[in-house]
Structure 1
Amino acid sequence: MKNLILSAAVLLGVTFSANAQNSSPAPVKVKVNVNLNSFQSIEIGSGATPSGEYGDIVNLTYADANDYRNGISKNVPNQLKVSSIGSGYKVKAKLSQAVLNRTSAEGAQNIQANEILEIQVGKNLAGATSGKIVTLSGVEFTDLSASNTGSASVLDEQLDVKYFGKPIPQNKLQTYFNNVGNKSLSYTVDVLYEILPL
């Protein structure tokens, strides 16, 4: 009788055990959607030195006769950082106003920006003396056609910006300085950049 009760208990335990293994819960299924949006962005790059409200400040300084005769330039490596997902891009620039405003006490009140300022945007401009150099003359965006064309996507692409002070002829120097004596003149204008898809 003991054997019969023991056999029944073992059989009952095996039955419960088998039922427990067969009744595990069904898996839960979750769908994950991944959405990739196209966009364009432009921001200050790693080569810039932000100052106050400005992403960078560039100084073009004419120091001697050679500078006035031949012009000057300053390359800012990696000044801009662009992303364009889904298409190529173009970079445009405009001035806050069509003139350079005097910040010094002496000299002409303002100078037409297109008489002095040119800008080039692209990659590896350190030794560049040619390429798409654009004279900025006003408050309309001007196409600088940076480095990417076609349908390639780029993420955080760093671009150099090269600023040019054009040669200044004697008649313009006489107008700008207007016999101020041995004094320096200073002028300023803001440059604004934007990115657009191709």
Structure 2
Amino acid sequence: MADEGREATPTSVRLREGPLEVRTMYTLETREDTIRIPAEYIRRGRRLEDHIDELAHDAFECRFDENENFTLLTFDHEAVGRGKIIHGDGAIYQNVRFKALVFTMENNEVVDGAVSEVSEYGAFVRIGPMEALLHKSQILDEPIQVNLGIKRIEGSQSGRNLGEGSFVRSRIVSKSINHNDPRSSKIGLNCKMDGLGSFEWIGEED
């Protein structure tokens, strides 16, 4: 998949360690790729262009690309050149140029998110369209108590806590992307370092 152009959007930001670097989590890209138009679509008697939007949405949206970036939506689909028919297949393979809204994240990158769920394992944090696990062993340098009754994780010494809805800054420490089933992808977080953790803790440090 070739990127023909990239335009940053101001939807959200994330920060790297060291010199301050502001990066957008979302980018708007112009891409070109190939869709397969099955023979039954052609027999419906509609123009080729009438099928492109539907098939492009199905082929590219809510998927990770080869660079492990997540495509949320595509639009402005445009056929490029003539489609090709492969012998014995019957379908048309058509190059398409389109705009794509893409979410990106990298290992060791510092990201902001909100706690969506507290479990016995720790806190699940919503980062854009993805959910990542902030394991209870990666939250504080002290024993942790998880209270599922009130959906809260609390340090036994400092009293610092996280609950559903808490905003947290953390570092991505692991990614295991499942291209076949994006929902089952696993992203691990850590917020033990200085400058990380609940926004309330960061405010106390300042």
User: TM bucket by the smaller chain?
Assistant: under 0.3
Greater strand percent: which structure? Answer: 2
Structure with more of its chain in helix, by fraction: 1
* TM-score normalized by the length of structure 2: 0.27
More relative contact order in 1 or in 2 (CA 8 Å, sep 6+)?
1
